[in-house]
Amino acid sequence: MSEFQGQVAVVTGAAGNLGTALCRRLAEAGASIALLDRDAEAMAQQQAQLPQATDAASFTVDLLDPASVQGTVEAVHKRFGRIDLLANVAGGFAMGPPLDETDDATWDLMLDLNARSVFHMARAVLPLMRAAGYGRIVNVAARAALQGQGNMGPYCASKAAVVSLTESLAAETKALDINVNCILPGTVDTPQNRAAMPDKDHDSWVPTDALADVMLFLASPAARCVSGAAVPVYGRS
């Protein structure tokens, strides 16, 4: 399959579970890939596992530092000459106490990891997409973005912000060939989730490969008329 041949994809959180699956799918589809993460060693291992013919490069970045993000995006553009797809995969999750017992550090952490990272990357990449007259942005929100849950207030709020940012960006770019969408994963089947919830029905959870497939669809020509969507990917969870 060479659906993304000649295109350059930027993947944040590239060394994580979903980032790994997405990079593999993109490589199989012929894309050149810029892997972005704060863990250089894990990125190197991930890049080494991609198909040998893949044009890929790794970039260490602090997504919470605007200067680091801007410099990294400029380095990616210099290396590849273009950016067609931005996949904002990086994020985090933390349970907590009730909201009235939540400290500012927990609130800031969730908003930073899940929403500020998307804001910083979109702000840096969109001017390049506008100049090129083309772009696709796919963000990762969560089912929790649609309905607040107890002891998860900061996380739910941060993922709701991702949905709102997606909708705002789509409205701002609707006159251009730039589409912005997000996915809403249910419980994702990762080693970490299995360790945290060993008694749950893991077969009902969503495989990372399935999430990657939906993200590729949203970045593909088949989704050329889709922008501003929040796509549920719940599996049977």
Set 59, 80, 155, 205: catalytic member: 155
Tokens of 140: 């990762």
Phi, psi of 137 (to 5 degrees): -125, 130
- For residue 196 the two structure tokens come to 């945290």
> Rounded CA gap, 193 and 183, in Å?
19
* Helix, strand, coil % over all residues of the chain, rounded to 5: 50, 20, 35
Residue 134 annotated among the catalytic residues of the structure: no
Q: What is the dihedral of CA 111, 113, 116, 117, to 10 degrees?
A: -160
136 bridge partner residues: 85, 179
The beta strand positions in the chain, using DSSP E, are 8-12, 32-37, 56-60, 85-88, 135-140, 178-185, 188-189, 206-207, 230-233
- The Cα 219–Cα 13 span in angstroms is 18
Q: Which residues are catalytic?
A: 155
